[in-house]
Structure 1
Amino acid sequence: MPPTSRPHSPRHGYADTRHGQIHYAECGSGRPVVLLHQTPRSWDEYRDVLPLLGDEFRAIAMDTLGFGASARPEQPFSIELFADGVLDLCAALALDEPVLVGHHTGAVVALETAARAPDLVHALVLSGMPYVDAARRKAVAEDRPPIDHVIPAADGSHLRALWANRAPYYPPERPDLLERLVRDALGVLDRAEEGHLAVNRYRMEDRIGLVKAPTLALCGALDTFSLPDLPKIIEAIPGARSAVLPGTGVPAVDHRPDLFAAQLRAFLQTL
């Protein structure tokens, strides 16, 4: 039986998995909603979403393997490895037909989990997910500079570099959002870029057709990285719906948790 907690007061816990312990935070009770963060974030990306969902659902924000307070496997990071962690967490917590919600890297992980375990996943929400096919893998390999890779410097200038790399995608009036990202990134600084590399190695075109769960594809209107791929995702998943969150971009989850949670609720109420 799931533990009870006040919706506004997250409980923290650890689950044993084949790759080591996974840390998670949760609010509320009811149908489980598992929330998966972008690279190089942690459960903290959903800090303000948890209480908004916790009065109706058992909202669980986990730290992906290798990030936050979860175990860091020595093997190379991959979407398949991250999905192992999601499935093991669901088994450890005895989650019955969870809804999987992922943002950017987390969306790719949610997709792979739903493709691998179609009888487990009740519904799927893919937020800011890029469509990773051969053309995108080639373009990224040839043209895209690293997103979060910085070389530690004795004078701390790498902190400024980490901030500057992400600043164009974050609202200038909300430096607190960048502070949260930098804090998470510092905890995995030596491997922060691996999450992005894992996404761009993933053969999504071979896996997306295996998704059977009702699906909502979300994206921030200002997310120029992923918004162009929204029609491809809708076309690839039969019956998938889409929604665009106005006035926000890459940091949609923590920038506009109210809009994000409202879209989630509205979608789940139709199932």
Structure 2
Amino acid sequence: MANTVRRGYAPSPFGQLHYAECGSGEAVLLLHQTPRSWTEYADVLPLVGRAHRAIAMDTVGFGASAKPEGPHSIERFADGVEALADGLGLGAFHLVGHHTGGVVAVEVAARLGDRVSSLLLSATAFVDETKREAAPARPPVDHVDPKPDGSHLVELWNRRRGFYREGEEAALTRYVIDALTVLDRVEEGHQAVYRYRMEERLAHITAPVLAVCAPEDHYSLPALEKFAAALGCETAVLPGGHVPAPEQLPGEFADVVTAWVDRPRP
């Protein structure tokens, strides 16, 4: 069936990279936030997969993908994306990134040029010198210290409880599972974002860009204007949602992705 999610692995210099996919046709590659996995797009894949080959990968170091030693960086995450695209035989493909995945998508698009047919940046941080300088003073986002009584599990849950509405506990549970999978390195994706020299890479992007954000995601919403100024790109605010917008609004999110991918271009 076209909407059946299939899972597999592709080789890379780091080891095997895990991905899930749905549908056929033009490839749409979706990159998740930190410290998540492909499950952030579990409800989006079948919807985008109705008209396209929707692929959600586990970033290098996260989910079921290889977990190499050494420091994480946006560049290394992008190496993994390239390796997956090559391993799956993707020529040109559309690229979608959410939060950290959006920063990784910037680097991939800057490297691959016209091979990226379009770029959708969802709730993506605009990383400039001001953000890098402020990073050392920022409190940890997801770090918890393991406790013998397991109370760190509740602490981890509460780290993101405020982003999820009542009734969205299943999605929050998926976050906790993903974070526990990389608990000893759970903060490193965020740190990689803050080190990235994004402003030096933006000029290399040739793909058409759409930047979107959920209205309650106050961390990322101001970046829309910055991307518009830097790239001359279009922007849009989703009809609701917070940091986990792809899980809170999978239908609306998938509609935005599909409309952007399908837009006629010269």
Give the TM-score of the pair, scaled to structure 2: 0.97
List aligned pairs for 1:166-185, cutoff 5 A: 166-185=160-179
CA distance in 1, matches of 2:251, 2:82: 28
Q: Give RMSD over aligned pairs.
A: 1.0
Aligned-residue offset at 1:236: 1.0
Query: SS of 2:162's equivalent?
Result: helix
Task: Give aligned-pair identity as a percent.
Answer: 55
Which digits, 9 at most, give the CA deviation of each residue in 1:139-194, with x for residues without a partner?
A: 2222x210011111111111111111111222233222211100111111111100
CA distance in 1, matches of 2:100, 2:9: 22
List aligned pairs for 1:1-271, cutoff 5 A: 6-142=1-137, 144-238=138-232, 240-271=233-264
Aligned-residue offset at 1:119: 2.6
Name the aligned partner's letter for residue 40 of structure 1: P
Which digits, 9 at most, give the CA deviation of each residue in 1:34-66, with x for residues without a partner?
A: 010000110000000010011110000000000
Q: Is the 8 A contact 1:36 1:62 kept in 2?
A: yes
CA distance in 2, matches of 1:7, 1:170: 30
Name the aligned partner's letter for residue 215 of structure 1: V
CA distance in 1, matches of 2:251, 2:135: 32
CA distance in 1, matches of 2:167, 2:20: 28
Structure 1: any 5+ residue segments left out of the alignment? 1-5
Name the aligned partner's letter for residue 58 of structure 1: R
Name the aligned partner's letter for residue 267 of structure 1: W
Name the aligned partner's letter for residue 224 of structure 1: H
Give the TM-score of the pair, scaled to structure 1: 0.95
Aligned-residue offset at 1:106: 0.3
Aligned-residue offset at 1:232: 0.2
Name the aligned partner's letter for residue 243 of structure 1: A
Query: SS of 1:122's equivalent?
Result: strand
Query: SS of 1:119's equivalent?
Result: helix
Aligned residues: 264
Runs of 4+ residues deviating >4 angstroms: none
CA distance in 2, matches of 1:121, 1:173: 37
Structure 2: any 5+ residue segments left out of the alignment? none
Aligned-residue offset at 1:8: 2.3
Q: Is the 8 A contact 1:219 1:245 kept in 2?
A: yes
Name the aligned partner's letter for residue 127 of structure 1: S
Which digits, 9 at most, give the CA deviation of each residue in 1:172-217, with x for residues without a partner?
A: 3322221110011111111110000000100111111211101110
Name the aligned partner's letter for residue 83 of structure 2: D
Aligned-residue offset at 1:7: 2.7
Q: Is the 8 A contact 1:7 1:50 kept in 2?
A: no
CA distance in 1, matches of 2:237, 2:24: 28
Which digits, 9 at most, give the CA deviation of each residue in 1:69-119, with x for residues without a partner?
A: 000010111000000000011111111211010000000001100001113
